Amino acid sequence: MIHDKTLQIAVIGGDLRQAHLANLLARDGFYVSALCLEQDVYLGDDVKQGEDVQNVLSRSDVIVLPLPVTVDKKNINTPFSKQKLAVRDVLTYAKKDVLLLGGMPDPELRTKCEQMGLTMIDYLEREELAVLNAIPTAEGAIAIAMGERASTIYGSTCILTGYGRISKVLSRLLLNMGARVIIAARKPSDLAWIRINGCEGIHISKIKDYADQADILFNTVPAMILDEEILSCLSRDCLVIDLASKPGGVDFDMAKNLRIKTIWALSLPGKVAPISAGAMIKETITNILTERGIIY
């Protein structure tokens, strides 16, 4: 990749992912400044630190905000820093033609950017990042299953709901580990792919008929699928792992009543593999910059 080495990038706040992202961008030869990332993170020598915030913001061509950008809608999310940095300050100090990149900026923030004529892109909406995130999610799900159970994945029967990105990656891992993998989906073409990929495909309306065979049940659908009817069919030893973002897909209260062990595993990439997650964000950002002609 050839690019303008004079491009100035500010990487602000966030966690280990953001720190690793800064290191990788610097390794690519960009002029990278890190802000609000001074505690318990490793930053390479080629990442500039301790500079004046206003100075950095006002000269940067690209500003990479964390994931999520903010949790209180007021300050940038800076869990690895003692400093506070107001969102409004970032917008105010930034150059007019800056490119703002952030993870899940809230609608309010997006509106404010528009009003100020600033370009804000949510890198989490990029399809390739969603695809890549399926890897640490799937590995994390398997780590949970290994840690919670007294049996091997090999020889176990796993039921997965849905056949989206996570289910595609997770089912292949499980299959390759020697599990029997049953996937509940709806579309005939998904059921065809499931079978081609070596798993058993069942229509989602038939989960109940297979539920008692499950050693592990992974939900990937963000809708109430695992309700009382299905939960009550599960074996007492079955482990339920919900990988769906809110509102999740399991009736947790009912599961508790039925004494079925249930784990709601959210945001696995940042938790189990922040280094890899940082590399994935870096790749996505590189794609964005390339598509916009900023690097080439």
Q: Does 104 bind its own copies (CB under 8 A)?
A: no
Our CB check for its own copies shows the closer of 48 and 126 to be 126
Please state, in angstroms and rounded to a whole number, the distance separating the CA atoms of residues 163 and 142: 17
The region that residue 29 occupies, defined by phi over 0 for left and psi between -120 and 50 for alpha, beta otherwise, is left
CB of 111 to its own copies, least distance (A): 27
- What does residue 150 show for φ and ψ, rounded to 5 degrees? -100, 15
The verdict on 191 binding its own copies (CB under 8 A) reads yes
Judged by CB under 8 A, does residue 141 bind its own copies? Answer: no
Using CB under 8 A, pick the residue from 110, 149, 264, 266 that binds its own copies: 149
Q: How far is it, in rounded angstroms, from Cα 251 to Cα 228?
A: 7
Query: Can residue 55 be called a binding residue for its own copies (CB under 8 A)?
Result: no
Q: How far is the CB of 288 from its own copies (least distance, A)?
A: 9
Q: Does 169 bind its own copies (CB under 8 A)?
A: yes
Give the count of residues interacting with its own copies (CB under 8 A). 45
Distance CA 68, CA 124 (A): 9
Residues 6+ apart with CB under 8 A from 72: none
Residue 154 engages its own copies in binding (rule: CB under 8 A): yes
Q: What is the CA radius of gyration of the chain?
A: 22
Choose between 249 and 274: whose C-beta lies nearer to its own copies. Answer: 274
Interactions with its own copies, residue window 257-296 (CB under 8 A): 272-276, 279, 284, 287
* Binding track, positions 15-44, relative to its own copies; x by CB under 8 A: -x----------------------------
296: exposed, middle or buried (C-beta count within 10 Å: 0-12, 13-18, 19+)?
exposed
Q: State the nearest-atom distance from the C-beta of 84 to its own copies, in Å.
A: 26
Q: Is residue 139 a contact residue for its own copies (CB under 8 A)?
A: yes
Binding residues for its own copies restricted to 224-263, rule: CB under 8 A: none
The residue to which tokens 């809708």 are assigned: 223
Cβ atoms of 61 and 99 closer than 8 Å: yes
Burial class (CB in 10 A: 0-12, 13-18, 19+), 51: middle
Chain positions contacting its own copies, by CB under 8 A: 16, 126-128, 130-132, 134-136, 139-140, 142-143, 146-147, 149-155, 169, 172-173, 176-178, 187-189, 191-193, 196, 198, 272-276, 279, 284, 287
